[in-house]
Structure 1
Amino acid sequence: MEDTAKEPSTFRPVTHVIFDLDGLLLNTEIFYTEVLDDLCGKYGKKFTWELKHQMMGRKERDSAQFAIDALGLPISVDEYIAHVREELNRLLPTSRFMPGAEKLVKHLYEHGVTMAIATGSDSFTFRKKTTNHGDFLQMFTHYVLSGDDPQVRNGKPFPDIFLVCASRFPTKVNPEDILVFEDALNGVKAAVAAGMQVVAVPDERADLSEFSDATLILKSLLDFRPEAFGLPAFGS
């Protein structure tokens, strides 16, 4: 599953990298599906892939309101979030790396590539997800959590999170010199709106035609070749 519409020769060399977190670096999306399947089932509603696809990448409260409106759930945003957080508190600390994530980040770090994380998570869920990945986090200069970062006024698909993340790199960097990795369509749209190249690694259920704005579409991070974007090749 790779986008062949764009040839590697059209890719711009980059100096900095921004990663999404959920479903891209960590397998936490499966936990959100499990929890929301249960919550929606309590009210006789079905949490579908189509709904999840539209929610991915949004801020926590935006995502909650979207689900409530779409399904007509008879609960408030605060009640929705309270239920989800209670269940995620149990599940998120068991998160594991997505295929190729640890290898790629470690490779880039060892070759001096500056990296950051930009996620729709808030501080609470971010801590839970990364409970057992403290050493991994040390390889990033910073992480932007749009769920409770006051400078990120609008969540994905707006570009705010990536522009804020770029502004916090230790040295000034232009958007065109940044490569974003995303699994969600909203995240791809946000990166493109920010003027950055973006590698999409969608869920296998996704309609790839919706990701046509991505610079490159891959089945897995295992398939990424850093040298295509001017980054150090594996084995170098």
Structure 2
Amino acid sequence: EYNKHLKEAIRNVKLKPGALKLLNHLKSHKIPMGLCTALNKKDFQFETEHFNDIGLFEIGKYFEVIVTAEDDADVCENKPSPIPYLVTINRFRNIPKPENVLVFEDSNEGIQSAVFAGTQCVMLQDVRQYENTSQLVVITLTSFNDFKPELFSLPKYE
């Protein structure tokens, strides 16, 4: 019964406003993208299966790399350690320098992980407060709709 309610609640989860617009924009400009989650693969698939109809999390559709840090053999320590992001970065075909990687995060642990890995981090603020990590990020946004790619030397929205 609990799993039935949980599955129903997860099915109603929507992408953050502007997320698909940003993904499509970056994809159209051939900007490589990766996803790094603290979850294990089973939980990640469970939480994202309602997006299967649009293929959102199929490798190659948007994301070149997806790392599920909790059960990835190369990740010996989960977020807030930098290791999950360093593993993700090193799996790109053309490995970028960490300082050239832009990360969007919505958790304290994720922000710390991204910053400690040497990346530029954008905080996506939700209802929680992040007093401890807000000074670590480049910018704080309430939605992907507020993101201006040109501020990070990315192609401007048309």
Query: Which residue of structure 2 aligns with residue 15 of structure 1?
Result: none
1:222 maps to 2:145:
yes
TM-score using structure 2 length: 0.88
Alignment correspondent of 1:172: 95
Residue 136 (structure 1) aligns with: 56
Aligned position for 1:205: 128
Give the ranges of 4+ consecutive aligned residues of structure 1 lying more than 3 Å apart after TM superposition.
Answer: 84-91, 207-210
Amino acid at match of 2:109: N
**Structure 1 partner of 2:110:** 187
What SS class does the counterpart of residue 203 from structure 1 fall into? coil
Distance 2:14 2:134 in 1: 25
Q: Where does residue 11 of structure 2 map in the other structure?
A: 93
- What's the offset of the Cα at 1:209? 5.7
Aligned identity (percent) is 33
Tell me how far apart the structure 2 counterparts of residues 171 and 208 of structure 1 sit (CA, whole Å): 35
**Mapped partners of 1:142, 1:158: distance in 2:** 19
Q: Indicate yes or no: 2:31 matched with 1:108.
A: no
Contact 2:108-2:130 within 8 A present in 1 as well = no
How does the TM-score come out when normalised to structure 1? 0.60
Closer, same or farther: CA 166–114 of 1 in aligned 2, 3 Å = same
Q: How many residues align?
A: 153
Q: 2 CA distance for matches of 1:207 and 1:185?
A: 7
176-185 vs 124-133, which deviates more?
Answer: 124-133
What residue in structure 2 maps to residue 37 of structure 1?
none
Which structure has more relative contact order (CA 8 Å, sep 6+)? It is: 1
Q: Select 1:162's aligned residue among 82, 85, 93.
A: 85
Distance (whole Å) between structure 1 residues aligned to residue 130 and residue 113 of structure 2: 18
- Segments of structure 2 that go 5 or more residues without pairing to the other structure are none
Partner AA of 2:87 in structure 1: V
Provide the aligned C-alpha RMSD in A: 2.0
Quote the Cα distance in structure 2 between the aligned partners of 1:85 and 1:178. 37
Distance 1:206 1:105, change over 3 A: same
Are 1:200 and 1:217, in contact at CA under 8 Å, matched by a contact in 2?
A: yes
Q: Deviations over 1:124-177 (max 9, x none)?
A: 111122213232222111200012112111111110100000000011211111
User: 1:175/1:210 Cα in 2 relative to 1: closer, same or farther (>3 Å)?
Assistant: closer
What is the Cα deviation at residue 87 of structure 1? Answer: 5.7
Residues 126 and 195 of structure 1, relative CA distance in 2, 3 Å threshold: same
**Over alpha carbons, which structure has the higher Rg?**
1
Range with greater deviation from structure 2 (102-111 or 91-100): 91-100
Q: Is the 8 A contact 1:116 1:143 kept in 2?
A: yes
Quickly say closer, same or farther: Cα 1:157–1:209, change in 2 above 3 A.
closer
1:85–1:211 distance in 2 versus 1, CA, 3 Å: farther
Q: Going by fraction, where is helix more abundant, 1 or 2?
A: 1
Contact 1:94 1:129 in 2 (8 A): no
